[in-house]
């Protein structure tokens, strides 16, 4: 299944405006980009590209974003990244409208966004994701942990962070079904 011109017109009507320059992307989910409070705000695909969207809190979406799931997305381009308004998972016949925070207010159980807890982890960098300007925004560790790297910490981490590097991270976050999510306060290279 792919997003055709007629699908794109339908998706624009559902989630965007006709004045935006839309792009579409197909791929397979490698990692779910999770915020420290448990909300999902993007997907890293197996080709290392990202699909970003407003933070989602619904458990319904969490259960559908499983690594290995094929996804088709459409939305405006933002700094070279796809800022998705609509996602189409191959198992579903209807698109998921994730644009304009509409999905954040959907009915159903939501991830409890309790207080962030002090966390630390050690693991091997499995993937890196970047912000629209090309700066490191986060890391995925081999144990499934998402590490968000805020701008002031980016200045302190070694520029040679790459896949396969073992690191130790301290910060604030939570433990969730697909792994922990930590907002880093320090990142130390082990190997």
Supply the pLDDT for residue 61: 65
- Beta pairing, strands 136-141 & 146-148: antiparallel
- Express as a percent the part of the chain with pLDDT over 70: 67
Cα distance between residue 39 and residue 141, in whole Å? 18
Please answer whether residues 154 and 191 qualify as being in contact, where contact means their C-beta atoms are separated by less than 8 angstroms: no
CATH fold label, 5-105: OB fold (Dihydrolipoamide Acetyltransferase, E2P) (2.40.50)
Give the pLDDT of residue 39: 86
More confident residue, 29 or 100: 29
User: Residue 14 has which token pair?
Assistant: 């559902």
In order, the DSSP letters of 11-30 are HHHHH--TTS-EEEEEEEEE
Query: What CATH number does domain 117-189 carry, 2.40.50.140, 2.40.30.10, 2.60.120.10, 2.40.50.500?
Result: 2.40.50.140
Q: pTM of the entire structure? A: 0.74
What are residue 104's phi and psi, to 5 degrees? -65, -25
């Amino acid at each position: 299944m792919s997003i055709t011109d007629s699908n794109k017109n339908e998706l624009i009507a559902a989630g965007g405006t006709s004045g935006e320059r839309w792009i579409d992307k197909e791929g397979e989910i490698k990692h779910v980009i999770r915020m420290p409070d448990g909300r999902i705000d993007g997907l890293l695909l197996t080709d290392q590209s990202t699909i970003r969207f407003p933070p989602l809190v619904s458990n319904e979406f969490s259960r559908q974003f499983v690594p290995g799931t094929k996804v088709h997305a459409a939305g405006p381009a933002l700094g070279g990244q796809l800022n998705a308004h609509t996602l189409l998972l191959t198992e579903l016949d209807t698109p998921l409208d994730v644009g304009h925070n509409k999905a954040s207010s959907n009915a159903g159980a939501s991830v409890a966004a309790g207080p962030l807890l002090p966390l630390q982890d050690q693991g091997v960098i499995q993937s890196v994701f970047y912000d629209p300007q090309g700066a490191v925004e986060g890391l995925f560790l081999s144990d499934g942990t998402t590490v968000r790297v805020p701008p002031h910490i980016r200045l302190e981490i070694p520029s040679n962070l790459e896949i396969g590097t073992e690191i130790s991270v301290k910060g604030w976050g939570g433990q969730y079904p697909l792994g922990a999510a930590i907002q880093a306060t320090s990142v130390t290279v082990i190997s």
